[in-house]
Amino acid sequence: MSSYSLLFALSCFCECFILPSIAQRVNAWSDVIMVEEGAAVTLHCSEEPPVTPRQVKWLMMPGKGKQWTMLFSVNISRGKADGRQMHHQAGRILEISDNVFLRFTATVESGGLYSCLLEKEDRKFKERIVLLAIIKLTLAPAPVIPLDSTARLKAEVSPPFAVAGGTWLSHTGSPLLTDVSLAGTLLTKLPRVTPRDSGTYTCNISVDGQSRKPVHSYTLTVTVYEKQVAWFPNITYGPLCSLAALSRSAVTLPCTDINGDYVLLYWWRPDSRLAQPELIFQFDRWRDSRKQSNVRLQLHNHSSVPAGNFSFLLRPELKDAGRYQCEVFRDDQVFAQVTALTVLNGYTSFSGSMELICAYAERSQVASVKWSHIQRPERRLPSSSVLGQTIISIGFPITPDTAGQYACTLKLKNGQTVRYLYTAMMNPTEPPYCASELPDELTTNSAVSLLQPTDGNSTPAPSILLPSLSLLLFLVPVVAVAAGVLLWRRGPCTFPQNVERTLSHYSGEVENIYENPEDLRQSPPQNAVYMDLKLTGETDVYRELDRYDQCCD
């Protein structure tokens, strides 16, 4: 390696060792002094008992600098250190008396590292490094804050790496949300101030590195002027947004994507342009407070709320249609977004026929609303329309031609569409339909035993009883079949094809009155349910005709 290369490497090593970067200078100072801008600053060269130095050097490195700048280099003659010596340079005064002081008026540019080097008689150097932090406190928009404006309390420290953290305290002593996203800056805000916000606010700042005073406190006085109200002449409106949604489905109401302080949401009732809006939601992210009147509304994407980005999630009912105006306030600026929300709600009504009703609200942005048949789109569906409704009727019974899916499609002027679907099925979905009661001759109102009671003193002749039993056993199925046929032909309720019903209704311990006639003779059950039988077409197999088939639930 050449001598030039070796010298260059040594110089780089020395520079890196003596002049570390900002990130490496943490804890490189013995003390942190923090003063407000414009205050007088006194830096001591040494905290030890005074000694007579041979030479004094003061160096300074700005907060964003990487090199030391010589401020003073003074040789002290023997015997003259007992007197007072004053040296001036660039607004700074070096005073040498019993000790060595550096005095000046603090400005933002004077913040940084200061190094004092003392050369003693034994030619040893004593160094003391001090970090000087300059703090600037501001209150906006004015010293006296108008009503409803956003008061901004800010503390800016230079150099920013002097700050380890901190928080603002309210005039009652409670901690406030403090934004430290910008290095060296502690910011808090009081949106929509009222006279109750007047008072003294404290900013506590903890410093980084070694310091005799780890926390510094500063105050600002906030005064709210009751006779002056904030005025927002410039409101920036975004383009009108038109949305359509099915009732009770989730829809996002957009807002602005700026970092706002608080948000207000106003609502105009659907299809009413002259009515005054209602304030239905307000949220203050600095105080973390909210008020709302619509439980179906909430802030959307909560992770972005702390940063001040707002949007809303709504699950609307038909009555929630209308116009929504979102207003986001940031300092003295206002950003507004208006959304026209059209809500579509479909339902059915039964009155002799089935009516499919498509209701919608906020009609100003609607281009068309129509019903169609999904499986047969070419089929024309006669419809009737009233204000905010489109209706079609489907007659009973529902046939294979009228069954299927029906769609009500709503189209906005901007091309957005939303639709409601209804599936019309055949007999299983018919509405309650009951005819009059069965004819008297087919209605059994009391329990009648199939076996005549016998007198206790006389016994019927077996020759007479057995033929009677045989005749009864023969007539029962015949009568049952005949009754079933009559019920099947004359009854008003029909059974769907390929649907089998085998429900049995129990009354006490008796399931069928034909099974145990003796029990019925002894104690006829109350509320007994009688079963009729219908021949199913198979030999000796019958199906129960449940009287409950006469009426639907």
Look at residues 133, 161, 182 and tell me which one is the last residue of a structural domain. 133
**What is the structure's pLDDT at 27?**
52
| 405 or 126, which is more confident | 405
**What is the structure's pLDDT at 275?**
79
Q: Does 498 lie in the same domain as 414?
A: no
Residue 400 lies in a domain: yes
- What is the pLDDT averaged over residues 222-230? 92
DSSP characters for 377-425? Answer: TTS---EEEETTEEEEEE-SSPPTTT-EEEEEEEEETTS-EEEEEEEE-
**What is the structure's pLDDT at 222?**
96
| Cα(412)–Cα(366) distance, integer angstroms | 4
Q: Give 438's contacts (C-beta < 8 A, 6+ positions apart).
A: 487, 490, 491, 550
**What is the structure's pLDDT at 114?**
93
Displacement of CA 271 from its chain's centroid (Å): 27
Residue 124 lies in a domain: yes
Q: Does 535 lie in the same domain as 444?
A: yes
Cβ atoms of 45 and 102 within 8 Å: the answer is: yes
| Cα(375)–Cα(427) distance, integer angstroms | 19
Question: Is the predicted pLDDT of residue 76 greater than 90, yes or no?
Answer: no
CATH code assigned at 58: 2.60.40.10
Residue 487 lies in a domain: yes
DSSP reduced 3-state for 474: helix
Question: For the chain, what is the mean pLDDT?
Answer: 74
Question: Is the predicted pLDDT of residue 199 greater than 80, yes or no?
Answer: yes
- What is the pLDDT averaged over residues 324-336? 92
| 194 or 306, which is more confident | 194
Residue 226 lies in a domain: no
Q: What is the pTM of this model?
A: 0.65
Least confident of 36-50, 92-106, 174-188, 492-506: 492-506
Q: Does 397 lie in the same domain as 478?
A: no
Q: Percentage of the chain with pLDDT > 70?
A: 67
Least confident of 74-83, 270-279, 289-298: 74-83
Structure confidence at residue 82 as a pLDDT band (50, 70, 90)? low
Cβ atoms of 406 and 372 within 8 Å: the answer is: yes
Q: Does 70 lie in the same domain as 24?
A: yes
Q: How far is CA 113 from CA 205, 434, 478, in A?
A: 19, 97, 117
Question: Is the predicted pLDDT of residue 241 greater than 60, yes or no?
Answer: yes
Whose CA is closest to 392, among 373, 377, 411? 373
Q: How far is CA 332 from CA 143, 180, 230, 310, 409, in A?
A: 15, 21, 8, 18, 44
Residue 210 lies in a domain: no
Q: How many domains does the chain have?
A: 3
Residue 283 lies in a domain: no
Helix or strand holding residue 129 (H, E)? strand 125-140
| Cα(362)–Cα(270) distance, integer angstroms | 5
**What is the structure's pLDDT at 13?**
35
**What is the structure's pLDDT at 488?**
40
Structure confidence at residue 288 as a pLDDT band (50, 70, 90)? confident
**What is the structure's pLDDT at 196?**
95
| 404 or 512, which is more confident | 404
**What is the structure's pLDDT at 420?**
94
Peptide bond into 397 cis (omega under 30): yes
What's the DSSP call for residue 430? P
- The winner for highest mean pLDDT among 49-63, 123-137, 197-211, 486-500 is 197-211
Residue 66 lies in a domain: yes
DSSP reduced 3-state for 523: coil
Residue 507 domain boundaries = 440-449+465-550
Whose CA is closest to 135, among 115, 164, 114, 106? 106
| Cα(104)–Cα(39) distance, integer angstroms | 9
**What is the structure's pLDDT at 221?**
96
pLDDT tens digit sequence for 414-466: 999 999 999 988 764 445 433 333 232 222 222 222 223 333 333 333 333 33
Q: Does 495 lie in the same domain as 414?
A: no
Look at residues 82, 104, 133 and tell me which one is the last residue of a structural domain. 133
| 430 or 233, which is more confident | 233
**What is the structure's pLDDT at 450?**
26
Question: Is the predicted pLDDT of residue 329 greater than 50, yes or no?
Answer: yes
pLDDT tens digit sequence for 19-69: 334 433 445 888 999 999 999 999 988 766 556 677 888 999 998 878 899
**What is the structure's pLDDT at 390?**
93
pLDDT tens digit sequence for 389-415: 999 988 888 888 888 999 999 999 999
Look at residues 133, 157, 172 and tell me which one is the last residue of a structural domain. 133
Structure confidence at residue 125 as a pLDDT band (50, 70, 90)? low
Whose CA is closest to 413, among 273, 271, 248, 244? 244
Q: Does 473 lie in the same domain as 425?
A: no
Q: Does 472 lie in the same domain as 531?
A: yes
Q: Percentage of the chain with pLDDT > 90?
A: 42
- What is the pLDDT averaged over residues 355-366? 94
| Cα(192)–Cα(199) distance, integer angstroms | 15
Q: Does 469 lie in the same domain as 507?
A: yes
Whose CA is closest to 53, among 114, 125, 115? 125
| 1 or 72, which is more confident | 72
One-letter amino acid identity for 15? E
Structure confidence at residue 476 as a pLDDT band (50, 70, 90)? very low
Residue 203 lies in a domain: no
**What is the structure's pLDDT at 277?**
93
| Cα(294)–Cα(313) distance, integer angstroms | 11
Q: Does 521 lie in the same domain as 491?
A: yes
Q: Does 383 lie in the same domain as 486?
A: no
Q: Does 115 lie in the same domain as 27?
A: yes
**What is the structure's pLDDT at 22?**
41
What the block records as the tokens of 268 is 């105009």
**What is the structure's pLDDT at 377?**
86
Q: Does 414 lie in the same domain as 377?
A: yes
| Cα(305)–Cα(261) distance, integer angstroms | 10
| 177 or 4, which is more confident | 177
Helix or strand holding residue 239 (H, E)? none
